Amino acid sequence: MPIFQKINFQQQNQINSYKKMCHLLYSDGATEHPVNPEHIERTLLAFETKPYLGEIIMFWEEEDAKNTEKNIVGYASLSNFWSNEWGGNVLHIDEIFVEELHRGKGITKLFFKWLDENYKQKNLAQAYALEVSPKNPNAQKLYEKLGFVKKYYNYMIN
């Protein structure tokens, strides 16, 4: 079973793994556009200095007690927003990534179980929200199996 923990900003191997996986996420065709590397740096700085904005959760293989770079297999970037519609905090899963060699092993499903135990059951989140690109039908099917439903809002950004 994998281990899920908040990123340790003092551990350069974790920072390097996160950056590498961000670049992979945005270059593997599953997203609509690439990410500016400066944005990754801003995210790290914001989450380190203003943890109320969000957090990065690293995924490790179970046998890795040392949290070494070679055993980090994924991450999720989480942020919070309040919703009257949902009656509380909605945990927005901005990014979720699992290394290709570790996909299909149930890591994402276990991550959502971990989220339930650490957020919903502690009343820290009323709901989860995420976006999935039409270019990523495998992820969409997985999220639907996990109970996510499509909401037909036009998400607009300026």
Residue at 46 is within a domain: yes
Residue at 155 is within a domain: no
Count of structural domains within the chain: 1
Q: Where in the sequence is the domain holding 54, given as residue range(s)?
A: 3-145
The answer to whether 61 and 73 have CB atoms below 8 angstroms apart is yes
Q: Is 19 helix (H, G, I), strand (E, B) or coil?
A: helix
pLDDT in tens, 112-151: 999 999 999 999 999 999 999 888 899 999 999 999 998 8
Average pLDDT, the chain: 90
Residue at 85 is within a domain: yes
Residue at 156 is within a domain: no
Q: How many CB atoms lie within 10 A of CB 119?
A: 18
The answer to pTM > 0.85 is yes
pLDDT computed for residue 63 by the predictor: 62
Q: Give the CATH number, domain containing residue 26.
A: 3.40.630.30
Residue at 111 is within a domain: yes
How far is Cα of residue 38 from the mean position of the Cα atoms in its chain?
19
